[in-house]
A and B are shown apart, each in its own frame.
Chain A
Amino acid sequence: MKKKGFILLFMTVLMVLVGIISINSGKMNLTPAEVIGVILGKGTPKQNLIIMEFRLPRIILAVFVGIGMGISGCIMQSLLRNDMASPGTLGISSGSGLFVLIFVVIFSANSNSSAILMPLLSFIGGMTAAALIFLLSYRKNRDISPTGLILTGVALGSGYGALTTLLTLKLDQNQMEFIQRWSAGSLWGDDWRYLAILVPWTAILCAYTIYKSHVLNILNLGNETATGLGTAVKPEFMGLTVAAVALSSGSVSLGGNFFFVGMIAPHVARKIVGSNHKLLLAAAGLCGAIIVLLADTITRTISLGTDVPTGIVITVLSTPYFLYLLAKENN
């Protein structure tokens, strides 16, 4: 256990390191000394602008979006006992997106009220999607095949996607581009106003989830065994599901639809720290943060020729891994 604690520490350090590199990089490079100078209030106005208005909020956004998706995916994989479950593959993030889009269509995406409304609507969309997939897949006393569940989720997700595209056609040029970038996954909400909502939202949910880590461990033993040990299975399951959807909704509303992060982060975390949720949850969150941060840094530095949404990089990097999982699935 101690050894694994060190691993977590290492991951946190890694994340901070990537964060530092990220702060330094971009169209204008700054040395670490200059960065520290800015933070201490001694930078030039231009440096201040770059760091405080652009980069720092963006990095914090990336970190919290990654944490939200990572932990959300971890909860889903554990509750459903399904390796490929995640907010993306269950259609939940697409459902969130649909509701966010409805919001954008009706109001504009930049008014002050949207800071709290967007995550909220995103959450409602996510819960609706969760209810739908639950209805379609749940059958009493029988287990759903793992791929069957994901198939339903992906189909639902593409259904929401189609509806979303339908709605996008009604938008004007600006809004349409915004939505296109959003759906590919771009960290658009990198603004202190939005962060003021996302950070507490994610933090509180994380605290709740980590508090429930032992319950997650017990649920992993099977519902019957868990009941026998005195767990109120249904309420706990519901509570954790709501938390998972809320976490992913927050990330999705401000970050966009990072389809695979929620699936991959828990996998990597599991390989590193094992299945004990007391460590796994935190590890999954950190992995998610590192993935998103890395991808974002790559898009901002390596000249891919244009301003590529972060999500594209993540998709390109993570699809092979998903395919690998699919290929080795033993059922």
Chain B
Amino acid sequence: MNSIATENLDIAYDNALIVENLDLSIPHNKITSIIGPNGCGKSTVLKAVGRILKPKKGMVYLNGGDISTLPTKEIAKKMSILPQTPAAPGGLTVSELVAYGRFPHQNGFGKLTKEDKKIVEWAISATKLSDLEHREVNTLSGGQRQRVWIAMALAQQTDLILLDEPTTYLDMAHQLEVLELLYSLNRNQGCTIAMVLHDLNLAARFSDYMIAIRSGKIIKHGSPKEVMIPEVLKETFSIDAEVVHESRTGRPVCLTYSLLHQEDLPKREAISL
């Protein structure tokens, strides 16, 4: 069963077609990572799937329903999004920002019910932010701030969470913090996670399912073992990669890579493997 499925999706920015005829699916209850080189369209795809961008052509299905026909608040009850560089206005505390996650479930004035408050507290403790509840968001470290936004997405109580590059700009420890949180959300709470990731190895380590994109087209999709192979990496990133399976997690890891010579560069179309 798929949380998200797209059909013949065309997405354009200012008349430049970024993605063409994309059929993509995000499986239910799994962690999916979308990888690809700069400008391949992965963020664009995520935004279109998250209805932030309107596609030029084609359909996006959320849990089987056409997303363009659903009222936006209803969508927000089923799917939450963490955009790339979220900015919190000054003076906002952690608990206040997390509380905004209840918005799709509220009406009118935005007053928090008892139930709402309980959920907010749960979200804060699930992201281990209880000590920082009353701190201002802009005074926290990068990793902590990212956790606050995830807590807000959690407070939305959705089955599906989309994240656009949640680990960029974070140092190694903070990257792991965030990903391990997402992992436990998936395993313990059954959230479906779909994220755009820059780091191949982290993607391979934490995902159940990977999609490699280049120039708006899917090069390969499948389990990390199926996607993290030299041929796919060559096709997607134009690199000559060496892939091993590391002992701690059993997952594939791109150990090292070098640039391809001119002659070895792949042709521009997707090859089916």
Residues of chain A touching chain B, judged by Cβ–Cβ distance below 8 Å, are 140-141, 211, 213-214, 217-218, 220-222, 224-225, 227-232, 274-275, 278
| Residue in chain B with minimal CB distance to A277 | B110
Q: Is the CB of A224 within 8 A of B89?
A: no
**A193–B13 CA distance with the chains assembled, in angstroms:** 52
The residue from B14, B83, B89 contacting A140, defined by CB atoms under 8 A apart: B14
| B residues near A229, Cβ cutoff 8 Å | 76, 80, 100-101, 103-104, 156
The residue from B72, B87, B101, B106 contacting A227, defined by CB atoms under 8 A apart: B72
Q: Is the CB of A230 within 8 A of B108?
A: no
Contact flags (1/0) for B33-51 with A, using CB distance below 8 Å? 0000000000000010011
The minimal Cβ–Cβ distance linking B159 to chain A, given in whole angstroms, is: 14
Q: Is the CB of B13 within 8 A of A224?
A: no
CB-defined A-B contacts under 8 Å, sample of 13: A141-B14, A211-B108, A221-B87, A222-B83, A225-B86, A227-B50, A228-B50, A228-B153, A229-B80, A230-B76, A232-B72, A278-B109, A278-B110
Residue B75 interfacial (CB < 8 Å): yes
Given A221-B86, A228-B80, A231-B72, 20 new contacts (CB under 8 A): A140-B13, A214-B109, A217-B100, A218-B100, A222-B87, A224-B83, A227-B51, A227-B52, A228-B52, A228-B76, A228-B82, A229-B80, A229-B104, A230-B73, A230-B75, A230-B77, A230-B103, A275-B89, A275-B90, A278-B109
**A26–B81 CA distance with the chains assembled, in angstroms:** 59
| Residue in chain A with minimal CB distance to B73 | A230
**A248–B120 CA distance with the chains assembled, in angstroms:** 38
Residue B260 interfacial (CB < 8 Å): no
| Residue in chain B with minimal CB distance to A226 | B103
Residue B92 interfacial (CB < 8 Å): yes
Residue B140 interfacial (CB < 8 Å): no
Q: Is the CB of B13 within 8 A of A141?
A: yes
The residue from A220, A225, A230, A232 contacting B83, defined by CB atoms under 8 A apart: A225
Residue pairs across A and B with CB atoms within 8 Å: the count is 74
Known contacts being A228-B83, A229-B100, is A221 close to B88, with CB within 8 Å?
yes
| Residue in chain B with minimal CB distance to A228 | B81
| B residues near A230, Cβ cutoff 8 Å | 72-77, 103-104
Residue B222 interfacial (CB < 8 Å): no
Residue B65 interfacial (CB < 8 Å): no
| B residues near A140, Cβ cutoff 8 Å | 13-14
**A222–B97 CA distance with the chains assembled, in angstroms:** 12
Q: Which of B94-129 contact A (CB under 8 A)?
A: 97, 100-101, 103-104, 106, 108-110
Residue B91 interfacial (CB < 8 Å): yes
| Residue in chain B with minimal CB distance to A215 | B110
Contact flags (1/0) for B153-176 with A, using CB distance below 8 Å? 100100000000000000000000
Q: Is the CB of A275 within 8 A of B52?
A: no
**A140–B76 CA distance with the chains assembled, in angstroms:** 24
**A217–B100 CA distance with the chains assembled, in angstroms:** 9
Q: Is the CB of A224 within 8 A of B52?
A: yes
**A232–B75 CA distance with the chains assembled, in angstroms:** 11
Q: Is the CB of A217 within 8 A of B76?
A: no
**A298–B108 CA distance with the chains assembled, in angstroms:** 41
Q: Is the CB of A221 within 8 A of B100?
A: yes
Residue from B81, B103, B153 whose CB has the most chain A CB atoms within 10 Å: B103
The minimal Cβ–Cβ distance linking A12 to chain B, given in whole angstroms, is: 20
The minimal Cβ–Cβ distance linking A218 to chain B, given in whole angstroms, is: 6
Residue from A140, A225, A231 whose CB has the most chain B CB atoms within 10 Å: A225
Per CB-CB distance, the 9 closest pairs between chain A and chain B, nearest first, are: A230-B76, A214-B110, A228-B81, A230-B104, A230-B73, A224-B83, A229-B103, A220-B89, A227-B52
**A230–B81 CA distance with the chains assembled, in angstroms:** 10
Q: Is the CB of B81 within 8 A of A224?
A: yes
| Residue in chain A with minimal CB distance to B105 | A230
**A278–B100 CA distance with the chains assembled, in angstroms:** 14
**A229–B86 CA distance with the chains assembled, in angstroms:** 13
| B residues near A220, Cβ cutoff 8 Å | 89
| Residue in chain A with minimal CB distance to B87 | A222
**A222–B90 CA distance with the chains assembled, in angstroms:** 13
**A71–B215 CA distance with the chains assembled, in angstroms:** 47
**A69–B62 CA distance with the chains assembled, in angstroms:** 44
**A275–B90 CA distance with the chains assembled, in angstroms:** 8
**A194–B106 CA distance with the chains assembled, in angstroms:** 39
**A231–B13 CA distance with the chains assembled, in angstroms:** 22
Q: Is the CB of B108 within 8 A of A221?
A: no
| A residues near B101, Cβ cutoff 8 Å | 229
